Structure 1
Amino acid sequence: MTTSSERPAADIAVIGAGIVGVACALELARSGMRVLLLDRQAPGRGASYGNAGHMATEQVFPIADAGLLKRIPGMLLDPLGPLRLDWRYLPKAMPWFVKLLWNMRAAPYQASIAGIRALNEASLPAWQALLDSIGRRELLKEEGSLLIHERHESAESLTMLAMRMRAQSVPVEEWSRQAVLGRVPALTDRVRGGLFFPATGHVSDPHQVVLALHDAAERQGVRFSTCRVDSVSANEEGVRLETSAGTLVVPRVLVAAGAHSAPFVAGLCGKRVPLDTERGYHLMLPREAERLPVAVTSLERRFIMTPMAEGLRLAGTVEFAGLERPPNMQRARQLERLAQGLFQRPLNTESATPWMGFRPSLPDSLPVIDRVGPQGRVWLAFGHHHLGLTQAAITARLVRHFHDDTTDSALPPLAPYRLGRFA
């Protein structure tokens, strides 16, 4: 670390070594910057470690929809439901949920869709280019994904969803039971059909993707420091970070700390950002690596199953309980029960491992990607909720353009992701 009287240790410090922070660090180093990457954990050990691994480019709709109000009683009463609001966290969560409901109005809701869609449409090509550039394209499986249904009465809902998606230019195909079982023969014939999304995919191991990018970043000159960032401030002369390893003074900082980003934004910009966390759970089944060829989501059961190199990952359950409360691993174990009856042969759950991580969520379902603060010294890339993996590569490309103050007409415009949208 360095003091203010010494030469800066880097041109920019990146706070957060998850998938977004590491991808940004690599792109910034390629632009010629000296980059210092900071995290209290090893790279990729936070939310990026346990995400569903799905490149969810089809998910262009905000997390709040017209059906949310009907689900609130169940969110409070069912501790193992797919969408859970811990009643003890309710007083703290209420301001965030009010903003969430406010964004369900027609104009902001459509603005959120446009912002999500713009990032998602550019996400898969950005990932292809990024993984090609480090020689690790094999980590990305571009074989599409499925949303299946089991109840006859769900067919109309799925058709309506397909129509809404086509209206947003999302490639989608309506598949019969025979088509679904032909692609995924391990499923039971209680499956009645589904939607196939050809422009999606999954990764074979989300953690390995982070490590591959980090290795490439280190070869590009990025330095990593395991430390806790306690406080931050910025002025016309630079950015000061007080860390567990000492004081660091740099010309610029990029906040990419996911669900932990809000205090840094407050310290650097004096702005309270309405950031909360969706606590996501997964259950990893190490003996089921070959069960599915593509990621499969169940409409009625509200969870996703993704094939990975180290097994089958069951994920998708969401809990609002803040950053402090211990994980409720029964929610992860519940995923095994959700999968029962979906397969011709029961899943092998021997040595199954549960996990919980914090997804950073903003009430309009859009991330913050911006350059703010004194002399534009504060750069921001956080709040991608459950689309952090999907949108990481395109976010890194956008952040790279902060360095030379240029725009690229091929990239999404930054206006929807500006910090200033929060009063």
Structure 2
Amino acid sequence: MKKEKTAQIAVIGAGVVGLCNALTLQRAGYGVTLFDAQLPGSQTSSGNASYLATELIDPLANPGTLKAALRLWLNPHGPVATPLAYFHKALPWLWKFVRCGSESRAAKSRDALHALNQRAIDAWQRLLTAEGLEHHLLASGYLQIWENPRALAAAKRHLRHLQEWDINARLIDHKEVAELEPALAGRVTHAIYYPDACQMDDPLLLCQSLYRAFIQQGGQFRQTAVTALSPDGQQVKLTTDNGHDSFDRTVLSTGAWSTRLLKPLGIDIPLEAERGYHITWQGEQPPLSRPIGSAERNVVMTPLANGLRTVGVSEWGGLEVPFKPKRTVTLRHHSQALLPELKHTDWPQQEWMGFRPTLPDSLPVIDRHPVYPHLLLAFGHQHLGLTQAAISAELILSLVEERRPPLDLLPYALSRFAR
């Protein structure tokens, strides 16, 4: 395997994780070619909440979630759903999810999520500063809000949990909430404020800027589907809609689509397409000045460069089940309850669905193929793709260069699924 910087590397997948991989490898001196059937950043990465959720260190599968699961599923405006047509297909994954929800397994996932998240913002600052793109990262702060005064005890418990992990946060009352976000006055009784939290101005604009920087520095982009990988002892051959290409190393960052290329290589992992939805009210003056997350409604609302976005719903429906309009009805219901002025605005509304690549333990795969070490893997970041993209790219670079990474990569290894 070539170690010199003349090595040619393919990055498959031009979402935010793939773009960060491509730029980080390119800056380290490698020749990089980026592959995707779609335009860079135009799929799942374009529709996220644009918020770096570094405080989200608890895996989706945990004792609290499992205890509340039935209630959440039965709520017509609840945050989780499974279309009946897909339920039988989702059952094996859901069983693995339940098994990952024990206190001991959740604790291991929590440690690993915290290890990535505490490094996430610094990694983004390094990447964006190197490319002259610092303007995309905004020191916004974040509010986690409650409307029910009887939930104050729950907020205090959560704050103690955050403090145990040295996450900078404080409890504020309705008066301070109204000072920070006047549009929420009279509806929010208390909140946890995260003063160090950051957001991106707009996830699609960010991806487009990352792509332009990559191309301007000599990167190559091929808009074609990669249909097969054929690694041998020296290279990885890519079969595409336009022919074949071989590279010294290949990084697979195709999110929820990753299993399609790995199964023929003997890798079968429980990666589910967890569908998320959003509504974006497209206007120039959004009524919020920072991201907010409703602890009771399980939605996040973020002001973007061109409007206000509400993101939510975890729908286990795979890659084939069509868009479900009732999910955006739920998002509109919660958005208008929090911000009644949205009932009367004439701003255009964009509805969207994307595919979060989710593994049962809520951890990504950051690893080498066990047989073909020149095939590297970076996918499965669930709700935290934007948050963890830059630090994941730094970890992939350490694997490419065969040097010790800044944190233990065992929790993110493929081998965890063989245990």
| 2:35 matches 1:38 | yes
1:14 pairs with 11, 15, 33, which one? 11
1:418 paired to 2:390: no
Paired with 1:41 and 1:336, the residues of 2 have a C-alpha distance of: 29
Q: Is the 8 A contact 1:234 1:373 kept in 2?
A: no
AA matched with 1:420: S
For 2:330, the equivalent position in structure 1 comes to: 334
Aligned counterparts, 1:177-326, within 5 A:
177-268=174-265, 270-287=266-283, 289-326=285-322
After TM superposition, the structure 1 stretch with the greater mean CA deviation from structure 2, 161-170 or 52-61, is: 161-170
Q: Distance in 2 between matches of 1:398 and 1:173?
A: 32
In structure 2, the CA distance between the partners of 1:288 and 1:79, relative to structure 1 (3 Å rule), is farther
1:200 to 1:32, Cα distance in 2 relative to 1, 3 A: same
Aligned-partner Cα distance in 1 for 2:76–2:187? 27
**Mapped partners of 1:318, 1:289: distance in 2:** 28
Equivalent residues of 1:158, 1:194 under 8 A apart: yes
The structure-2 alpha-carbon separation of the partners of 1:234 and 1:251, relative to structure 1 and needing over 3 Å to count, comes to same
Residue in structure 2 matched with residue 360 of structure 1 by the alignment? 357
Q: Tell me the amino acid that sits aligned with residue 195 of structure 1.
A: I
> Which is worse superposed, 365-374 or 299-308?
365-374
Equivalent residue, structure 1, for 2:122: 125
Equivalent residue for 2:366? Answer: 369
Q: Kindly indicate whether the alpha-carbon contact (under 8 Å) linking 1:166 and 1:172 is maintained by their aligned counterparts in 2.
A: yes
| Aligned mates of 1:104, 1:65 — CA distance in 2 | 4
The match for 2:404 is 407
**Unaligned ranges ≥5, structure 2:** 1-5
Residue by residue over 1:33-58, the C-alpha shift from the partner in whole angstroms, topping out at 9 and shown as x without a partner, is 11111001000011101001111001
TM-score (normalised: structure 1): 0.93
- Cα displacement string for residues 12-53 of structure 1 (whole angstroms, at most 9, x for unaligned residues): 211100000010001111122111110010000111010011
Amino acid at match of 1:414: L
Q: Which residue is equivalent to 1:134?
A: 131
Q: Deviations over 1:307-346 (max 9, x none)?
A: 0011000112221111101111331232121122323644
Q: Which residue of 1 aligns with 2:98?
A: 101
**Letter of the structure 2 residue corresponding to residue 370 of structure 1:** D
1:5 matched residue in structure 2: none
Letter in 1 for 2:365: V
Q: Is the 8 A contact 2:73 2:79 kept in 1?
A: no
Structure 1: tracts of 5 or more residues without a match: 1-8
| 1:110 alignment counterpart | 107
Which whole-Å CA distance do the structure 2 matches of 1:34 and 1:214 have between them? 15
Shift of 1:75: 5.7
Seen in structure 2, the aligned counterparts of structure 1 residues 349 and 173 have a Cα distance that, compared at 3 Å, is farther
Contact 2:52–2:386 (Cα < 8 Å) also in 1: yes
Give the letter aligned to residue 218 of structure 1: I
CA contact (8 A) 2:83 2:316 kept: yes
Name the aligned partner's letter for residue 318 of structure 1.
S
Q: Is the 8 A contact 1:79 1:86 kept in 2?
A: no
Tell me how far apart the structure 2 counterparts of residues 176 and 75 of structure 1 sit (CA, whole Å): 27
Larger mean Cα displacement after TM superposition, 165-174 or 345-354 = 345-354
- C-alpha deviations, 1:341-394, integer Å up to 9, x for none? 323644525310100000000001100001224451110000000000000010
CA distance in 2, matches of 1:112, 1:255: 22
Distance 2:154 2:82 in 1: 25
Task: Check the 8 A contact 2:251/2:376 in 1, yes or no.
Answer: yes
Partner SS, residue 338 of structure 2 = coil
Measured in 1, the distance between the counterparts of 2:330 and 2:143 equals 21
Q: In the alignment, is the contact (CA less than 8 A) between 1:27 and 1:397 conserved in 2?
A: yes
> Normalising by the residue count of structure 2, what TM-score does the alignment of the two structures yield?
0.94
Structure 1 SS opposite 2:297: coil
Cα distance, 1:61–1:99 mapped onto 2, change above 3 Å: same
Contact 1:236 / 1:374 at 8 angstroms: preserved in 2?
no
Which of 336, 342, 347 is equivalent to 1:350?
347
Residue-pair matches, total: 412
Cα distance in 2 for partners of 1:333, 1:206 equals 23
Distance 2:284 2:326 in 1: 21
Secondary structure at the counterpart of residue 119 of structure 2: helix
The match for 1:6 is none
Which residue matches 1:157?
Answer: 154
